[in-house]
Amino acid sequence: MNIESLEVYIVDLPTIRPHQLAMHTIVMQTIILVCVKGEGDLEGWGEVATIGGASYFEETPEAIKVNIEKYIAPHVIGKNPAHFDAIAYTVNQHVVGNRFAKAAVEAAVVDLAARSRGIPAYELFGGQIHTSLPIAWTLASGDTRRDIEEAQESLNAKRHNIFKLKIGVGDPKRNVAHVLAIKEAVGEAASIRVDVNQAWDEVTALYCIEALQDGGVDLIEQPLISWNKEGMARLTSKFNVPIMADESLSSIEQAFQVAKKRAGNVFAIKPAKAGGLTAAKKVAAIAEAAGIGLYGGTMIESSLGTAIAAQLYSTIPEMKYGTELFGPLLFTDTITANAIVYENFQIVVPSGPGFGMEMDKEKIFHYARDL
């Protein structure tokens, strides 16, 4: 069986509340869907999500769509989806960068390959090790009392016992006080972590990380700008609290440099950021070889993108710091006929065929842009 066609959709999904990062506040999340078709009615679907147009990453949704259709698709159509590694190699030989675009296409090809065999996609990546994974939630109201109430509600419902706070916007000292008040309220019942989204300089980071560490915060994500690996290395060596690299890991090569410089002692892996599922697993291997812990990151994908990441993460021996695959819980609607299951502080890894999700085409066309 060969791939007969490829289609790309840009879809905007509304969120249940504003989701604030240092560079953008999400009220409508943009995802890019890729559909590859084989023989008969057999289809494979892939997804990547983007944040804030060009404010987070250089690949915009519009550029991803155009570059897939014009430059990547010709190297995919007519190929056997079972040879997804060979297809990715050919694409990389002809297309520089464009990791998000490549990740979306590769996921669709993998989905088709797995569905053609009637197996879950994780079987193509060495087989499933974990049937479920710890799941974090982001507290983002900005109001301390409301965030404490939300955390306690999640704990009582056994949905989440890992909470992340985005603290890259506003006064750093006030943000630290906000985080420490939440940590004091939940105590040892939950892990409290922060994501700075590259917003601090090194002087600010020294003060804030010391206060957060002393207050019992468990993880500090990307406090410095992505290129400042030397600064990240200094912070990593100075503090006992783990420092997680996220935006610094923009490719396999960057992952090697972060590991070499010890510019973080936790990796946030993301298929889109790495350039695909195969590349993301290579990033995980670099971390394993360097003794660096792993965290399953998110670009806030829909249920399809969440299933893609969850299946890959389920094949990695140890996800020491859990995952952040909460995307479907943030949206008011879904583009799949079936839902991701969350229970007992875990995300249940969907099982096949493919990535285990059935697309709702009416919803896709409803939310798709008319381009």
DSSP characters over 211-266 = HHHHTT--EEE--S-TT-HHHHHHHHHH-SS-EEESTT-SSHHHHHHHHHHT--SE
Give the C-alpha distances (Å, rounded to integers) separating 67 from 41, 64, 95. 26, 5, 9
User: Could you read off the pLDDT of 243-265 as tens digits, one per residue?
Assistant: 999 999 999 999 999 999 999 99
CATH number, domain containing residue 22: 3.30.390.10
Phi, psi (rounded to 5 degrees) for 355: -90, 5
353 in any annotated domain: no
> Is a pLDDT exceeding 80 seen at residue 23?
no
Q: Which residues contact 338 (CB under 8 A, 6 or more apart)?
A: 303, 350, 356, 357, 358
Banded model confidence at residue 157, pLDDT cuts 50, 70, 90 = very high
- pLDDT at residue 40, rounded to an integer: 84
**Which of 70, 74, 82, 78 lies closest to 4 in space, CA to CA?**
78
For the chain, report the end-to-end CA distance as a whole number of angstroms. Answer: 30
- pLDDT at residue 90, rounded to an integer: 97
Same domain, 177 and 302: yes
> Is a pLDDT exceeding 80 seen at residue 124?
yes
Under a CB-based contact definition with an 8 Å cutoff, are residues 71 and 56 in contact?
A: no
Same domain, 155 and 84: no
How many CA atoms are closer than 13 Å to the CA of 190, on its beta-carbon side?
31
- pLDDT at residue 39, rounded to an integer: 86
Q: 219-244: string of b/e by CB count within 10 Å (b at 16+)?
A: bbbbbbbbebbebbbbbbeebebbbb
User: What is the chain's mean pLDDT, rounded?
Assistant: 94
Would you say how long the chain is, in residues? Answer: 371
Q: Which two tokens stand for residue 83?
A: 């040879």
CATH number, domain containing residue 305: 3.20.20.120
Same domain, 287 and 338: yes
Banded model confidence at residue 144, pLDDT cuts 50, 70, 90 = very high
Give the mean pLDDT of 217-224.
98
Banded model confidence at residue 141, pLDDT cuts 50, 70, 90 = confident
- pLDDT at residue 61, rounded to an integer: 93
> Is a pLDDT exceeding 60 seen at residue 22?
no
Same domain, 184 and 54: no
Give me the torsion for CA of 49, 54, 58, 61, rounded to 10°: 40
354 in any annotated domain: no
- pLDDT at residue 19, rounded to an integer: 67
Give the mean pLDDT of 277-286.
97
Say whether the peptide bond before residue 353 is cis (omega within 30 degrees of 0): yes
Task: Please give, one letter per residue, the 3-state secondary structure of 200-215.
Answer: CCHHHHHHHHHHHHHC
Q: Which residues are catalytic?
A: 166
Banded model confidence at residue 356, pLDDT cuts 50, 70, 90 = very high
Span of 149-153, 184-188, 235-239, 367-371 with lowest mean pLDDT: 367-371
**What is the per-residue DSSP string for 33-75?**
EEEEE-STT-EEEEEEEESTTTTS-S--HHHHHHHIIIIIGGG
Under a CB-based contact definition with an 8 Å cutoff, are residues 3 and 75 in contact?
A: no
Give the C-alpha distances (Å, rounded to integers) separating 276 from 97, 122, 166, 198, 259. 12, 14, 26, 23, 20
- pLDDT at residue 20, rounded to an integer: 65
Same domain, 101 and 150: no
What span, in angstroms and rounded, lies between the C-alpha atoms of 49 and 58?
Answer: 13
Same domain, 100 and 35: yes
Of all residues in the chain, the percent with pLDDT exceeding 90 is: 89
Same domain, 50 and 141: no
pTM: 0.94
> Is a pLDDT exceeding 80 seen at residue 24?
no
Integer-rounded Cα radius of gyration of the chain: 20
Sign, CA dihedral 350-104-325-20, equals negative
DSSP tag of 311: H
Give the mean pLDDT of 24-45.
90
Q: Which two tokens stand for residue 191?
A: 């892990």
User: Could you read off the pLDDT of 67-91 as tens digits, one per residue?
Assistant: 999 999 999 999 999 999 999 999 9
Same domain, 159 and 136: yes
Of all residues in the chain, the percent with pLDDT exceeding 70 is: 96
281 in any annotated domain: yes
Q: Which residues contact 325 (CB under 8 A, 6 or more apart)?
A: 133, 135, 296, 298, 301, 306, 309, 310, 313, 340, 347
Residues spanned by the domain of 48: 5-121+360-367
331 in any annotated domain: yes
**Which of 281, 221, 265, 271 lies closest to 247 in space, CA to CA?**
221
- pLDDT at residue 56, rounded to an integer: 67
Same domain, 150 and 244: yes
300 in any annotated domain: yes
Q: How many domains does the chain fold into?
A: 2
